Structure 1
Amino acid sequence: MSRLFDESLDTDTLDRNTAAALPRSLSESTLADALALADIQINGDRPWDLIIKDRRTIKRSLAYGNLGLGESYMAGWVDIPAIDQFIDRVLRARLDERVGHSVHVKAHALMARVFNHQSPVRAWQVGQRHYDLSNDFYQDMLDHRMTYTCGFWEQAHNLDEAQEAKLDLICRKLELKPGERVLDIGCGWGSFMRFAAERYGVECVGLTISKEQAKLGQALCAGLPVTFRLQDYRDIDESFDKIVSIGMFEHVGHKNYATYMDVVRRCLKPDGLFLLHTIASSDVNPTPDEWIDKYIFPNGEIPSFSQIMDAVTGRFVVEDMHNFGADYDRTLMAWHDNFSRVWPKYAQKFGATFERMWRYYLLSCAGTFRARRTHLLQLVLSPAGVVGGYHRPA
């Protein structure tokens, strides 16, 4: 993590006053003009302004888009006091469509469309690099149930309440009944399975590609009819009354959406329900963010509304669609608050570069949801349509 890219960071980087005093280069004028459209200044004094400490930030950001800016922030070449506010402004002004269209960025987009980065072999990488990071770390950052997906804040006052409200909402949408057998694809540490088994009396099987999640999750669910499996979703072929997938579809990839839906269809009983909880992009053919792919979620890919519907069509009836994407902004900010509070406990273990990386991750994602460029969808699907119609619970 100490060496982010080929160029090493100078030890005597520019401070704000020195940077402001130097004449602008053409690239800096280009960036400044673009940022002005979002009311962002270079070396301004507002929380959402960029404070350039090393001029290489400018060229890297123009050439590599968010990858260049994110790496510059990790290296300390640039400071952004309120990353969430900066990203919100950038995306609302559609600046991502004005800058960052270099050969590199276009090549990344082409590679993402051509290759299957979520093959059965590569699917395990995100577990090893992200979810296996540290169970203790995630316990300190998340709610007490360890729910690493968007909370439902409609009547919640804190993160614990928002996550419990989300879990209960899913159970009610699935119309869970005691004794039913439920499959959780991408079960994490088992927060949903534990909640559903305790509150609704169901039996659960959860699939994960993280050894650490499976180990801790099984311990947390001790004494409950809950089973964790280290298994790729493509390999399961059993019958379940209900199926749920909460925050896993973002790891499937557009070349595998049809396969994913086929797996769910073959495992779901004819009168069953499937709830898909996933982030969705406003773009028609979204390109995976290169910084997120490199540092946070390898091989991740946010689906578009149309891609989801294409995969569902002919396989399921859409009984209900619910978008509460704005709640992810609040969830991410709550995670960031927890991270900031507990960081001293992990500073020596992970180091300063990790801290900046993790802040950029949480806050830039919060800004993306705040700008409403990404959404959080819950779809309730049935194989042939609920007789008499489906009614979303109040």
Structure 2
Amino acid sequence: MPINTLESLPWRGSHHDFCRERLESLLERAGVRIDGDRPWDIRVHDPAFFRRIFADASLGLGESYMDGGWDCDRPDELIFRILRAGLPNHFHSWRDIAAALQASLLNLQHTARAFHVGRRHYDIGNDLYSRMLDRRMIYSCGYWKDAVTLDQAQEAKLDLVFRKIGLEPGMRVLDIGCGWGGAAKFAAEKYGVEIHGVTVSTEQARYAREICQGLPVTIELKDYREIEGRFDRAYSLGMFEHVGCKNYSTYMKVVADHLADDGLFLLHTIGGNASDNHGNPWVERYIFPNSMLPSIAQIGEATENRLVMEDWQNFGPDYDRTLLSWYENFERHWPSLRPHYGDRFYRMWRFYLLSFAGAFRARHIQLWQIVFSPKGLAQRYDAPR
């Protein structure tokens, strides 16, 4: 959330008093109070919190929480209210300007940096992810239309994906960003297809190979730009957020070049309401390095003259429920995880899961499933729901 720099504000009194007064005034628009007693109110422990917010925006908000500078019983509700009230529109940060400039000059997701997010995020510990996620370790939004539990929601999502692309026995299928292999295993077992998965995470690749032993599943540690072969179907679940806007066209060209003429490709991705060229500074520094969310316009431009859009579904509110389920699992298992990760990690991970839940609840970000074909299907495409 970008925030006003101190230089742009009229000066009154001390740094601390002025920053607190200004922040209280802004938060009032969202129905949030400093040191209030409601679940979404902020309890400040360190007066430096106010200065850090105005100096470093979202990075200051997240880092000061990690450092114990403030607390909130329901950070998800806090973020929901801040975003729903449109407060980010009133703030600006030099870090956002610097990030936008850097992203415009550099390709932060080029091939040499492709494995960075794997090492920094996905390789941090299978013990964490196995306790936080569902039994198949699917690290993307569940489909809660008829589901009651997280396991049901993730199985429903996988089944929705594979029905949308019309899997049939014997098909050769590409999984771009295969995670821990849960989707590949499910597809091979239930639909009788051959899966070729790629990931930039060493730990994901190792785990996926173990659980898929004996199945027609191949897992490779490689970047999507190194994919070889031709496939009847393809899908990507929660990986496109790491591609970067400078590479969207390259990504779509890779899909088109490796997909059969009568094939289908499903893209499952978080999306933003407006086009941007960089991600949130706190998220990039602590959670997903070099990540950013695509917009409808950016996806459309990248697929022009490459792929035909057959269907576009948005079930962003389901990610709110998915994230809360992950958080509940994380909290329940934290005593066994704490010796390995430590208390600052706990605060970082809690803020990550709950702030994202609040952002989806506010509809500030979305979850899209988009189905493409290389040349357009000859018959009408009726998408399962």
Letter in 1 for 2:324: M
Letter in 2 for 1:48: W
Distance in 1 between residues matched to 2:44 and 2:36, nearest whole Å: 10
The yes-or-no answer on 1:171 pairing with 2:162 is: yes
Decide which of 74, 93, 97 is 2:85's aligned counterpart: 93
Counterpart in 1 of 2:249? Answer: 258
Shift of 1:23: 11
Shift of 1:113: 3.1
Shift of 1:152: 0.1
Shift of 1:127: 0.4
Counterpart in 2 of 1:129? Answer: 120
Counterpart in 1 of 2:266? Answer: 275
Q: Tell me if the contact between 1:237 and 1:263 (Cα under 8 Å) persists in the aligned partners.
A: no
SS in structure 2 at match of 1:25:
helix
After superposition, give the CA deviation of every residue in 1:152-206 in whole Å (9 maximum; x if it has no partner): 0000001000000000000100100100000000000111111110000000000
The yes-or-no answer on 1:327 pairing with 2:318 is: yes
After superposition, give the CA deviation of every residue in 1:80-99 in whole Å (9 maximum; x if it has no partner): 11100000000011111212
Q: Tell me if the contact between 1:91 and 1:373 (Cα under 8 Å) persists in the aligned partners.
A: yes
Shift of 1:122: 1.0
Letter in 2 for 1:232: D
The yes-or-no answer on 1:229 pairing with 2:220 is: yes
SS in structure 1 at match of 2:197:
strand
Shift of 1:292: 0.5
Q: Tell me if the contact between 1:182 and 1:243 (Cα under 8 Å) persists in the aligned partners.
A: yes
After superposition, give the CA deviation of every residue in 1:264-321 in whole Å (9 maximum; x if it has no partner): 0100000000000000001232640000100000011111111111111211110000
Distance in 1 between residues matched to 2:15 and 2:161, nearest whole Å: 56
After superposition, give the CA deviation of every residue in 1:132-163 in whole Å (9 maximum; x if it has no partner): 11112111110000000000000000100000
The yes-or-no answer on 1:318 pairing with 2:289 is: no
Specify whether residues 225 and 208 from structure 1 end up closer, same or farther in structure 2 by C-alpha distance, changes over 3 A only: same
Alignment of 1:1-394 (within 5 A): 25-99=17-91, 101-285=92-276, 287-394=278-385
Shifted more, 90-99 versus 270-279: the winner is: 90-99
After superposition, give the CA deviation of every residue in 1:102-135 in whole Å (9 maximum; x if it has no partner): 3233222322333211011111011001101111
Distance in 2 between residues matched to 1:270 and 1:306, nearest whole Å: 25
Structure 1 gap segments, 5+ residues each: 1-21
Shift of 1:340: 0.1
Q: Tell me if the contact between 1:177 and 1:200 (Cα under 8 Å) persists in the aligned partners.
A: yes
Alignment size in residue pairs? 372
Distance in 1 between residues matched to 2:259 and 2:95, nearest whole Å: 43
Q: Tell me if the contact between 1:112 and 1:288 (Cα under 8 Å) persists in the aligned partners.
A: no
Counterpart in 1 of 2:10? Answer: none
Letter in 2 for 1:50: I
After superposition, give the CA deviation of every residue in 1:238-276 in whole Å (9 maximum; x if it has no partner): 100001111000000000000000000100000000000
Percentage of identical aligned residues: 51
Shift of 1:63: 1.6
Specify whether residues 244 and 226 from structure 1 end up closer, same or farther in structure 2 by C-alpha distance, changes over 3 A only: same
Distance in 2 between residues matched to 1:310 and 1:104, nearest whole Å: 28
SS in structure 2 at match of 1:279:
strand
Root mean square deviation of aligned Cα: 1.3
Letter in 2 for 1:228: I
Structure 2 gap segments, 5+ residues each: 1-13
Distance in 2 between residues matched to 1:262 and 1:322, nearest whole Å: 22
Shifted more, 285-294 versus 342-351: the winner is: 285-294
Q: TM-score, normalised by structure 2?
A: 0.95
Distance in 1 between residues matched to 2:276 and 2:121, nearest whole Å: 25
Q: Tell me if the contact between 1:261 and 1:312 (Cα under 8 Å) persists in the aligned partners.
A: yes
Q: Tell me if the contact between 2:269 and 2:369 (Cα under 8 Å) persists in the aligned partners.
A: yes
Q: Tell me if the contact between 2:173 and 2:195 (Cα under 8 Å) persists in the aligned partners.
A: yes
Distance in 2 between residues matched to 1:112 and 1:61, nearest whole Å: 23
SS in structure 2 at match of 1:121:
helix
Q: Tell me if the contact between 2:173 and 2:231 (Cα under 8 Å) persists in the aligned partners.
A: yes
Letter in 2 for 1:49: D
Letter in 1 for 2:114: A
Q: Tell me if the contact between 1:183 and 1:243 (Cα under 8 Å) persists in the aligned partners.
A: yes
Q: Tell me if the contact between 2:261 and 2:375 (Cα under 8 Å) persists in the aligned partners.
A: yes
SS in structure 2 at match of 1:303:
coil
Counterpart in 1 of 2:4? Answer: none
